[in-house]
Structure 1
Amino acid sequence: MSHTIASKKKLLSRVRRIKGQSIALESVLEGEPDCMAVLQQVAAIKGAVNGLMKEVLEGHLREHLGADDLTQEERAEEVEQVITVLKSYLK
């Protein structure tokens, strides 16, 4: 069973929290927002997205890169895929 399927409820809860925070940010911006309220909401969203990324990345590394049945070539391919995603994420 894939780690994303096994953690589905937990991951969906994180995504829903991010969605709620995004909606709250939109509501703040539609009014006459105080810039600190906007900054706090953006920081909360960023923290929630980072937490989601950490959760999924950790599961991927443990399940896919930590698998005993991978060849060196398969492991190298997995590493390159993770590096590509991390480079994109950290831009």
Structure 2
Amino acid sequence: MAHTIKDKAKLIARVRRIRGQVEAVERALEAELGCTDVLMLVASLRGAVHGLSSEVMEDHIRNHVVNPDTDPDPERAKGAAELIEVVRTYLK
């Protein structure tokens, strides 16, 4: 089973929260809020999208490349753990 199917409910919940954030940006623009307020909403939205991307990428690495928790080769496990950490940091 693909990890996106296994974690479907959790991922859909994240997407729905992101949709709510997009709608908040739209409402802010319609209400002609100041650019600072709009930028803060956009920054929150960007963080949410990056969080979703990071989660899907990490699961992809663990399920389709190498799982650092179960790989018997310590060098591969270390490399996978480092890659996951880089993805988390990059998309923070």
Give the TM-score normalised by structure 2. Answer: 0.70
Match for residue 35 of structure 1? 35
2:14 is matched with: 14
Any gaps of 5 or more consecutive residues in structure 2? 68-86
- Cα distance in 1 for residues equivalent to 2:63 and 2:32: 47
> Which consecutive unaligned segments of at least 5 residues does structure 1 have?
68-85
Q: Residues 70-81 of structure 1 correspond to what in structure 2 (within 5 A)?
A: none
RMSD (Å) for aligned C-alpha atoms: 1.8
Identity level (%): 52
Query: 2:46, 2:10 → 1: CA distance?
Result: 18
More off after superposition, 28-37 vs 18-27: 28-37
**Quick one: higher RCO (CA 8 Å, sep 6+), 1 or 2?**
1
Q: Secondary structure at the match of 2:33?
A: coil
Letter in 1 for 2:33: P
Counterpart position of 2:57: 57
Q: Distance in 2 between matches of 1:37 and 1:6?
A: 37
| 1:34 Cα deviation from its structure 2 partner | 1.4
Q: CA deviation at 1:3?
A: 0.5
- Separation of aligned partners in 2, 1:53 and 1:31: 30
| Deviation, structure 1 residue 32 | 1.8
**4+ runs of 1 displaced by more than 6 Å?**
none
Length-normalised TM-score, structure 1: 0.70
